[in-house]
């Protein structure tokens, strides 16, 4: 049977003599033989155990965990599966840190001071993204949307005070209660249109045009499908009613503007139209096309209005 002194097994495995002595002291790897003069002698079995230690360290396990794994009967594959997930998360963290540094190098002047506040904000956004992955947000957002949502949530701190945010939340809860109490009413009625307007005024004030696609995802996949899992959620019945009320509200605004073709100035007409599109879709021009197509296919809308829409599309980079 082959045996090795500590210096020999150190050369064989690449593990330093100092590290081997440490493993001996903490009881992780004690040599099978210790000579009268104090020399450590390692057996083939010790070498095999050392190779296991090297492998487990490579996989990111702490020494205390390695000692436990090697001293008890446990399902090593289950433990490996857990460790693999932890390593995935660590890899994402390192990749994000690398990307942040590259952006910093690219955007900063070497002669200026390092923008530590910006760096801290980037780190905070990443941490928030990780936290949101474990909530309702992780169920409805893509990875990119999740990051955008973290940016949005961070921005709320500077846009609103804590008291203002409480009031905003209360306004939303009151709106939901009012919807729930009036489900017997026609959502396309004057009452329904007013509630639809109140809803979209709240949404646009809270999310703004910059996060229009985000708010639409929250509405379609979160609120309407009951994924938010808190008091701000809508029942499926309330969500369907409010959805119709919002559609009726926007339909009313669209018709009101188009009915002014030939009666108000072009400048005023364009201004009102663009405010409407911004309220509906923010900066997402692709969704505007859906509205244009519905208008052009609607037999109830007169030809003058349709021609104005065609002209607007042409002048603003939309194709039919």
Indicate if 292 and 193 belong to the same structural domain: yes
CB burial string 191-222: b at 16+ within 10 A, e below = ebbebbbbbbeebbebbbeebbbbbbbbbebb
3-state class (DSSP) for residue 101: helix
Q: Is 320 part of any domain?
A: no
| Distance of alpha carbon 67 from alpha carbon 49, whole angstroms | 11
Task: Give pLDDT, residue 319.
Answer: 62
Per-residue tens of pLDDT for the chain, all 320 residues? 788 899 999 998 889 999 999 999 999 999 999 888 888 899 999 998 898 899 888 888 888 888 888 877 656 777 778 778 778 877 877 787 777 777 767 766 666 666 666 666 777 777 788 788 888 888 888 888 888 888 888 888 788 888 998 899 899 899 989 999 999 999 999 999 999 999 999 988 888 777 878 888 887 777 666 666 554 567 778 888 999 999 999 999 999 999 999 899 999 999 999 999 988 887 777 788 888 988 999 888 999 999 999 999 988 888 65
My answer on whether 126 and 84 are in the same domain is yes
Helix, strand, coil shares of the chain, percent, nearest 5, are: 70, 0, 25
CATH number assigned to the domain comprising residue 21:
1.10.1660.10
Q: State the burial class of residue 40 (Cβ atoms within 10 Å of its Cβ: 0-12, 13-18, 19+).
A: buried
Predicted local distance difference test score (pLDDT) of residue 102: 78
Residues 285 and 220 in one domain: yes
309 and 266 share one domain: yes
Q: Which of these three, 129, 156, 183, is where a domain ends?
A: 156
Domain total for the chain? 3
Residue 166 lies in a domain: yes
Q: Is residue 13 part of a domain?
A: yes
My answer on whether 136 and 242 are in the same domain is no
Of 71, 94, 113, the residue at which a domain comes to its end is: 71
Are 281 and 200 part of one and the same domain?
Answer: yes
Domain's final residue, options 23, 54, 71: 71
- Residues 141 and 166 reside in one and the same domain: no
**Pair 181, 152 in one domain:** no
Residues 131 and 42 in one domain: no
In this structure, are 122 and 188 located in the same domain?
A: no
Give the per-residue pLDDT at 266. Answer: 92
* In-domain check, residue 288: yes
Q: Residue 299's domain spans which residues?
A: 160-315
Q: Do 212 and 254 belong to one domain?
A: yes
**258 and 135 share a domain?**
no
DSSP state of 127: H
Tokens coding 161 = 């005070």
In a domain, 20, yes or no: yes
Q: Are 191 and 245 in contact (CB under 8 A)?
A: no
Q: 277 lies in a domain?
A: yes
Task: Give the DSSP H or E segment for 42.
Answer: strand 40-42
Residue 163, judged by CB atoms within 10 A of its CB (0-12, 13-18, 19+), counts as exposed
pTM: 0.61
């Amino acid at each position: 049977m082959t045996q090795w002194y500590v210096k020999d097994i150190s050369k064989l495995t690449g593990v330093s003599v100092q590290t081997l002595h440490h493993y001996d002291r903490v009881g992780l790897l004690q040599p099978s033989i210790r000579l009268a003069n104090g020399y450590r002698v390692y057996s083939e079995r010790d070498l095999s155990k050392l190779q296991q230690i090297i492998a487990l360290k490579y996989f990111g396990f702490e020494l205390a965990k390695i000692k436990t794994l090697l001293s008890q009967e446990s399902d090593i594959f289950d433990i490996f599966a857990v460790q693999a997930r932890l390593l995935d998360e660590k890899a994402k963290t390192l990749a994000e840190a690398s990307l942040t540094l590259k952006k910093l190098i690219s955007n900063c002047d070497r002669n200026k001071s390092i923008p530590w506040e910006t760096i801290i904000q980037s780190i905070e956004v990443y941490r928030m993204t990780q936290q949101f992955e474990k909530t309702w947000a992780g169920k409805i957002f893509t990875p990119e949307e999740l990051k955008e949502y973290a940016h949005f949530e961070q921005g709320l701190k500077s846009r609103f005070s804590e008291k203002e945010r409480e009031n905003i939340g209360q306004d939303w809860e009151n709106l939901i209660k009012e919807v729930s109490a009036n489900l017997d009413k026609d959502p396309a009625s004057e009452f329904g249109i007013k509630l639809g307007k109140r809803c979209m005024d709240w949404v646009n004030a809270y999310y703004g045009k910059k996060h229009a696609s985000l708010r639409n995802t929250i509405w379609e996949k979160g609120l309407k499908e009951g994924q938010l899992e808190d008091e701000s959620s809508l029942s499926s019945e309330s969500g369907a009613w409010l959805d119709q009320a919002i559609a009726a509200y926007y339909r009313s605004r669209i018709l009101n503007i188009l009915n002014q073709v030939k009666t108000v100035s072009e400048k005023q007409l364009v201004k009102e139209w663009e405010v409407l599109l911004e309220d509906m879709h923010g900066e997402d021009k692709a969704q505007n096309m859906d509205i244009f197509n519905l208008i052009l296919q609607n037999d109830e809308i007169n030809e003058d209005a349709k021609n104005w829409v065609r002209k607007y599309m042409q002048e603003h980079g939309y194709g039919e």
